[in-house]
Amino acid sequence: MSRIDWLEEARRRQDALLRDLSSLLAIPSVKDEASAGPGALLGVQSARALAWALELAGKHGLATSALEGIVGYADYDGPESRAEDGRGKENRDDYIAVLSHVDVVPASGEWTSPPFEASIRGGRLYARGALDDKGPALAAFYGLLIVKELGLPLRHRVRMIFGTDEETGMGCMDAYNRRERPPLAGFTPDADFPIVHAEKGQINTSMELRLSGDGGGAELRLCGFRSGTAANMVPDAAEAIVHGSPDRLAAVVSEFWSYCSGRGLKGSTSTDLQLTECATILRMEGKSAHGMAPETGVNAGLRLLEFLGSQPLGGDDERFVRGAVELLAPDAAGEALGIACRDEATGALTVNVGLLRYAPGEGEASFRLNVRFPSCADGESLAAALEERVRPYGFSLTPPIFKRPHEVPAEHPMIRALQRIYTEQTGRTATLLSTGGGTYACKLPGCVAFGPLFPGEEDTAHQPDESIAIDSLLRATALYAEAIYELANIDYGKKE
């Protein structure tokens, strides 16, 4: 067989890839429990995105199946491979997995173009999901189409898995594992190149304050606070409603502007003087970022609570604010929470405070925490230490949800194959990486994350104006095509 120019094959399919991708990006597949129902357990738009992906696969001759309304797959059982030992197909139940997700995080913040309309500017494709993960999902799918349309022989089946709950808990992969056997190996196009072979563990929980109904007789009352739209995003906006006398509120507004000016922050205020007790709304702007790297963003909720910590609050208001100011605002490494740790393989622990809520009239006072911890730590022990630390402040933890650390050994035959493919196509060293992000790879044994971000590229996932370079999308497609072909022809029963 003559040598295949994988990148040229990807470029030949550029128009079709961008056309299909634009259609998928137009579906606002954010988890929406309000529209959930039979066949749409995560909301109608998530179900619509899954149906779209499976319909596309079916049009190209792949056998498709949907499981429990939240995950589906498409199988390709290509021409039989004849290896040098004369063997053809392996066990027909075995397969290579390519895992991607069609759900997205909310499109918060200010966008240059509508977030659910694909827009091309300066060689980049802009839309929510362009990078995380609809663009890479279709790049991998078109990689499989290249293999299929070239009629390349395969020893193992290839299965494209499409999930709809990656951003909010990965329950879709739990559903998959209840019904299907694990793959021989596989990858997800949902992180960085070269190869992410290790992932941090995670703890997802909420710090909840039990309210007493006591306002403390303070001159200022915090009547509401809201920040964040997803646990795994750094909030880029926050709003607080405070009540007090006109003179007290005038002082609050003046001090708020001084606070913002002194820290280079953006904010706004509005005051309602028609009420018996005047109300002022304070708004803070921050910078969104992925929850795996909260230090790269500006948490608007924590910055606004830091300001409120300087105000004369009392009772429940003061306890809520003090918990944020002393336990959460000082750092994203968990030092103030007493859980900081790190190791060489996966780096330092991080804490993202993604959802901040205070509604005393409704009995709500909570902080949603997404803790990502290195391989050296134990999730249960960290959660116990966290519970001990927050208890004196009047907070308790909701039952934590754990994700274990994940690692595929460097000597795995898939790892060596991906390293060779990446080096040959890019001319770069295929260094093994680790991440604080959680991908579908952690849900299946022998799976890693492979792209789509190349070294040095900006990560715009979970941010306004999320985008991917079209050239990078095509280079990733070429890598995925060769990876699918090579991984589907490895004899995993042998030591290579």
**HSE of 292, CA atoms in CB hemisphere, 13 A:** 18
Rounded Cα–Cα distance for residues 369 and 386 (Å): 11
Listed residue (290, 224, 277) closest to 246, CA to CA: 277
- Give the 3-state DSSP-derived string for 188-207, with helices as H, strands as E and coil as C: ECCEECCEEEEECEEEEEEE
Listed residue (212, 21, 146, 119) closest to 488, CA to CA: 146
**Is-contact 97 183, C-beta < 8 A?**
yes
Partners of 351 in the β-ladder = 371
Q: Which residue out of 9, 20, 90, 103 is catalytically annotated?
A: 103
- The tokens describing 479, both together, are 């890598």
Q: Which residue out of 166, 180, 190, 285 is catalytically annotated?
A: 166
Question: Is the four-CA dihedral 389, 393, 396, 402 of positive or negative sign?
Answer: negative
Beta strand residue intervals within 384-449, DSSP E: 395-397, 401-403, 406-407, 432-435, 447-449
Phi, psi dihedrals of residue 218, rounded to the nearest 5°: -80, 160
What's the length of the chain?
Answer: 496
Q: Which amino acid is at 203?
A: I
Cβ partners under 8 Å of residue 402, min gap 6: 201, 202, 203, 379, 380, 383
Question: Is 103 known to be catalytic?
Answer: yes
Orientation of helix 44-59 relative to helix 14-25, angle to 10°: 160
Partners of 221 in the β-ladder = 243
DSSP annotation string for 38-106: TTBTT-HHHHHHHHHHHHHHHHTT-EEEEETTTEEEEEE--SBP--TTS-----TT-EEEEEEE-----
Phi, psi dihedrals of residue 203, rounded to the nearest 5°: -125, 125
Pair type for strands 95-101 and 157-163: parallel
At 461 the three-state DSSP class reads coil
**Mind telling me the catalytic residues?**
103, 166
